[in-house]
Amino acid sequence: MGSFNATGAWAIYRNELYRAWRAVFGTIISPVITTCLYFIVFGAAIGGRMESVGTVSYGAFIVPGLLLLTLLSESTSNASFGIYMPRFTGSIYELLSAPVGVAETLIGFIGAAITKSLILAAIILVTATVFVDYHITYPVLAFGFIILVACAFSLFGFILGLWAEGFEKLQMIPLLVLTPLTFLGGTFYSIDMLADPWRTVALFNPIVYLVSGLRWTFYGEADVSIELAAGLTIAFLVLCVGIIAWIFKTGWRLRD
């Protein structure tokens, strides 16, 4: 059994970060501008006319949801594009023949995607202070939950990048599945505001648990328990790791 190739993992990680820096507008600036527009429209304009949600002002209430909206889409997109491009250009064969294993490959690609997502999260939280007055009740738990979500959806994006046969499929899941589910998952409202049966229907949306989990770390109150939210996120992460292990074992989409 070969030893861990730290140099190989670092090379992949560094190359992915360089790629993000070369396209800094698309990977950093564009998501921040989009989030600022959400804060202006929903936080400042609409939020000033709405009552508080529980004990939290509406502008502060939407901060965790908007953070998660960006976190999910960017983690997925960064990881999927990162592994898709070597497949598209054919350099994936050089990677497969290099002395790097599954662990080094994942640490390189997933680590870079997580790093970019954390940078974005930090920028968005700083930007939010310009528009709303919010606080984080449990900062350590919030940081841990953000890392957990970024890791899980970076792994999901990695799978998506291996599955996609073209740029259209690469964008299909984030645009047509993740974004609508996030908007319907309590980003801009509490599901307790919904009447039955819509509140029950909302509980079948997995994003509800992610938004609620992050919102609890901010304000100590949410639609579902933090234990359930964290447990489902960890289960999703483990499922993604299992799928990736199977992909590397069988060579599916890697050697086609």
Both tokens assigned to 209: 């648990």
**The predicted structure's pLDDT at residue 256:** 59
Confidence band, pLDDT 50/70/90 cuts, at residue 25: low
Mean pLDDT value across the chain: 87
- Interval 34-49 mean pLDDT: 74
Cα separation, 114 vs 60, whole angstroms: 25
**The predicted structure's pLDDT at residue 26:** 67
- Interval 143-152 mean pLDDT: 96
**Residue 244 contacts by C-beta under 8 Å, 6 or more apart in sequence?**
102, 106, 155, 158, 159
**The predicted structure's pLDDT at residue 255:** 67
Higher-pLDDT residue of 1 and 214 is 214
User: What residues does each domain of the chain span?
Assistant: 6-250
**The predicted structure's pLDDT at residue 89:** 84
pLDDT digits (tens, 9 = 90+) for 198-227: 888 999 999 999 999 999 999 998 889 899
Evaluate if residue 189 carries a pLDDT over 90. Answer: no
pTM: 0.89
- The amino acid present at 12, given as its one-letter code, is I
Phi and psi, residue 53, nearest 5° = -100, 105
**The predicted structure's pLDDT at residue 1:** 46
Evaluate if residue 98 carries a pLDDT over 90. Answer: no
**The predicted structure's pLDDT at residue 161:** 92
Evaluate if residue 147 carries a pLDDT over 50. Answer: yes
- Best-predicted range by mean pLDDT among 89-98, 100-109, 174-183, 208-217? 208-217
Give the C-alpha distances (Å, rounded to integers) separating 246 from 99, 153, 242, 254: 19, 18, 6, 12
Mind spelling out the 3-state secondary structure of the chain? CCCCCHHHHHHHHHHHHHHHHHCHHHHHHHHHHHHHHHHHHHHHHHHHHCCCECCECHHHHCHHHHHHHHHHHHHHHHHHHHHHHHHHHCCHHHHHHCCCCHHHHHHHHHHHHHHHHHHHHHHHHHHHHHHCCCCCCCHHHHHHHHHHHHHHHHHHHHHHHHHCCCHHHHHHHHHHHHHHHHHCCCCCCCHHHCCCCHHHHHCCCHHHHHHHHHHHHHHCCCCCCHHHHHHHHHHHHHHHHHHHHHHHHHCCCCCC
Evaluate if residue 109 carries a pLDDT over 60. Answer: yes
